[in-house]
Structure 1
Amino acid sequence: MSNPSLLILPGDGIGAEVMEEVKKIITWFGDKRGLNFDVSEDLVGGAAYDAHGTPLHDDTMAKAQEVDAVLLGAVGGPKYDVLDFSVKPERGLLRLRKEMDLFANLRPAQCFDALADFSSLKKDIVAGLDIMIVRELTSGSYFGEPRGISDLPDGQRVGINTQRYTTDEIRRVARAAFELAKRRNNRVCSMEKANVMESGILWREEVIWVHENEYPEVELSHMYADNGAMQLVRAPKQFDVIVTDNLFGDILSDCAAMLTGSLGMLPSASLGAPMENGRPKAMYEPVHGSAPDITGQGKANPCACILSFAMALRYSFDAGEEATRLETAVEKVLADGVRTADLLPAGDTSPVSTSQMGDAVIAALDASL
């Protein structure tokens, strides 16, 4: 049988730097665990625009459709702020999500014990935190029509975005959330604004339908999204899996991200329907941006990108034990006090570089054998 295929899209800014560390880990799994991948690499975002005049070349899009998983670094940077909206680096990312139909975005918020003091909340509130936010990713107000900015007869302008969901769009992301909950603590909280939005009413009704007809064994609760934001900073450990729409998911997942202390630690997965080989369409990427202020300085934390590859091992390649091995290695490195600059305690002036953090994770992997 051929090896599973992986398309690497480093992107812009620190994307290339953190991806170099992931490449070393991919090689380690091939050499030490017999888990080999057919790896290819291409351009996305500003890098693609510089080369092709578009943030995602059609050939790259075709490759993404063919491989078993895509691993992306980051896109964007201030040099591209002057571009027309249609060719900004972020449009390449949105095209990947839309054309691969990656409807379920998985955003874990896990607080490693060694980093509990870095959260903006009290340690006892976040210590041991392990929640998963499932965000619908291909519909809602980011894609709904009509949309745009137009002139009004009285000289004013109007900006319009349409919040739109169908039964199928809601049910499929709800199923993804319930399936995840079955692997975890068997609880799902669905968040919307059914008190003021018709799309929220439909969302709640369809999530209830999926629960009653397909997953009655999973505990389901409902919460308005604004209350959900408040509860995430009041008592986040009350949640297991949260499922919500595109707009609210964007906001709530970033809120949950900061509970853990650093964006440099947070991975994500975007999953679609199963392909012929049974694997889901999938793209994995760290939550952090391209961080142009530290690009090229060896300061970037590669852990979020490394943990994104761990998610790929778990959700795309049926290698849950190896995913746990990698996650445990990252946790051990942190517990041993190895820190990039974003994770340093106050007064500590001895950060490791991006490559040194990657090497430390590999050393921990070696120790796990």
Structure 2
Amino acid sequence: MKIAILPGDGIGPEVTAEAVAVLESLGLPGLVLFEGDVGGIAYRRHGVPLPDETLAMAREADAILFGAVGDPACDALERHLRPEQAILGLRKHLGLFANLRPARVFAGLEHLSPLRADIARSLDLVIVRELTGDVYFGAKGQRVTDAGEREGWDAMAYAEGEVRRIAHVAFRAAEASGLPLTSVDKANVLETSQLWRDVVIETAAEYPQVVLDHMYVDNAAMQLVSHPDRFGVVLTGNLFGDILSDLASAAVGSIGLLPSASLGERRTDHGTFGLYEPIHGSAPDIAGQGKANPMATILSAAMMLRHSFGREDEAARIEAAVARTLADGILGGDLGGSHGTAAIGAGVRERL
């Protein structure tokens, strides 16, 4: 079980250290951990945010546990040298096209959600976001119109193969969980979305047991905060997925509780190669102070055990230990508590 640990910047090293301690406490056979530089720390040490040796390490691993990248001291660098290019480069070079982002409100923390408690309690879903296409990766630029005005433009495009492969990921997730699948698009306005919907409908024929419906993205945003119980697995593109997953994280009550998995088509001996990371950023304002909540990174490690190593029992144990730790009032500052990073990690390990 070869895992590349890429802590990155800011609070990344602090939260990944607690996740690693949880993994080591399980006593898993054949566990091999090795660490590399990414982001701002990599730029300072190697001159680039994603060094060749780090990329080679990632390719040799069965999975990657990633912390966070982002450093205000690097904001003035050329775009290709900024820390954020590390995660984009890893996704591109490793073919990580499918982002899985679960979002649920833990029992006892409903009051932290901006939603009414009875609505927040029903939020328990997984967003499957396409990660390497759409307007983010399309052609773009600036030009001057005939009227002499500057005009920015971005091309939104999806090939049917890109849609089909992410649709299979979502259908398999819905099939395994028994949950309904909602495909989110804007087919009433966008040709890209019409193709998306057509291909999803075609793919659905291979999964007759999965209940499928379609929803426009504006309605999906409204339903997510008014009737989240209607969602199980949500399938959508890169742009819409970025927005909806952030909306779901806000509804949960703290970004410090949400893990994610980025998967591709490469198989390991045990499952699917993937990169696992908390969805929060590097939080440089609290870096090095022991205040960061490591729960999202610990839950990301649980997702790694499930998807890349087929260790469902251990993944479920970690998730149960996190839920019990929260229920017992061991909360970080983001949840209104006063426990630090190390105390929260120790609380999870004790409950394992």
TM-score range, shorter chain: over 0.9
The match for 1:307 is 299
Say which SS state the counterpart of residue 283 (structure 2) adopts: coil
Q: Deviations over 1:93-149 (max 9, x none)?
A: 0010111111110000011012111000011001142100000001111111x2223
Which letter does structure 1 place at the counterpart of 2:280?
H
The match for 1:84 is 78
Retained in 2: the 8 A contact 1:188–1:220? yes
Retained in 1: the 8 A contact 2:62–2:268? no
Which letter does structure 1 place at the counterpart of 2:68?
A
The match for 2:242 is 250
The match for 2:12 is 15
Partner Cα separation in structure 2 for residue 275 and residue 129 of structure 1: 31
Partner Cα separation in structure 1 for residue 226 and residue 71 of structure 2: 34
Q: Give, in angstroms, the shift of residue 16 of structure 1.
A: 0.7
Partner Cα separation in structure 1 for residue 88 and residue 270 of structure 2: 24
Which letter does structure 2 place at the counterpart of 1:329?
A
Residue of 195, 218, 224 corresponding to 2:188: 195
What root-mean-square deviation, in Å, do the aligned CA atoms of Structure 1 and Structure 2 show? 1.3
Q: What is the aligned residue count? A: 352
Describe how 1:342-361 pairs up with structure 2 within 5 A: 342-344=334-336, 351-361=338-348
Q: 1:88 to 1:155 in 2, by over 3 A?
A: farther
Describe how 1:99-248 pairs up with structure 2 within 5 A: 99-144=93-138, 146-151=139-144, 155-212=148-205, 214-248=206-240
Say which SS state the counterpart of residue 56 (structure 2) adopts: helix
Q: Give, in angstroms, the shift of residue 257 of structure 1.
A: 0.8
Partner Cα separation in structure 2 for residue 318 and residue 93 of structure 1: 25
Identity of aligned residues (%): 49
Say which SS state the counterpart of residue 250 (structure 1) adopts: helix
Partner Cα separation in structure 1 for residue 316 and residue 124 of structure 2: 14
Whether 1:340 and 2:332 are equivalent positions in the alignment is yes
The match for 1:63 is 57
The match for 2:350 is 363
Retained in 1: the 8 A contact 2:12–2:282? yes
Which letter does structure 2 place at the counterpart of 1:51?
R
The match for 1:347 is none
Partner Cα separation in structure 1 for residue 251 and residue 56 of structure 2: 37
Partner Cα separation in structure 2 for residue 295 and residue 316 of structure 1: 29
Partner Cα separation in structure 1 for residue 252 and residue 67 of structure 2: 20
Partner Cα separation in structure 2 for residue 329 and residue 49 of structure 1: 36
The match for 2:276 is 284
Q: Higher mean Cα deviation, 152-161 or 15-24?
A: 152-161
Q: Give, in angstroms, the shift of residue 169 of structure 1.
A: 0.4
Residue of 37, 40, 43 corresponding to 2:34: 40
Partner Cα separation in structure 2 for residue 168 and residue 176 of structure 1: 13
Q: Gaps (5+ residues) in structure 1? A: 345-349
Partner Cα separation in structure 2 for residue 24 and residue 163 of structure 1: 42
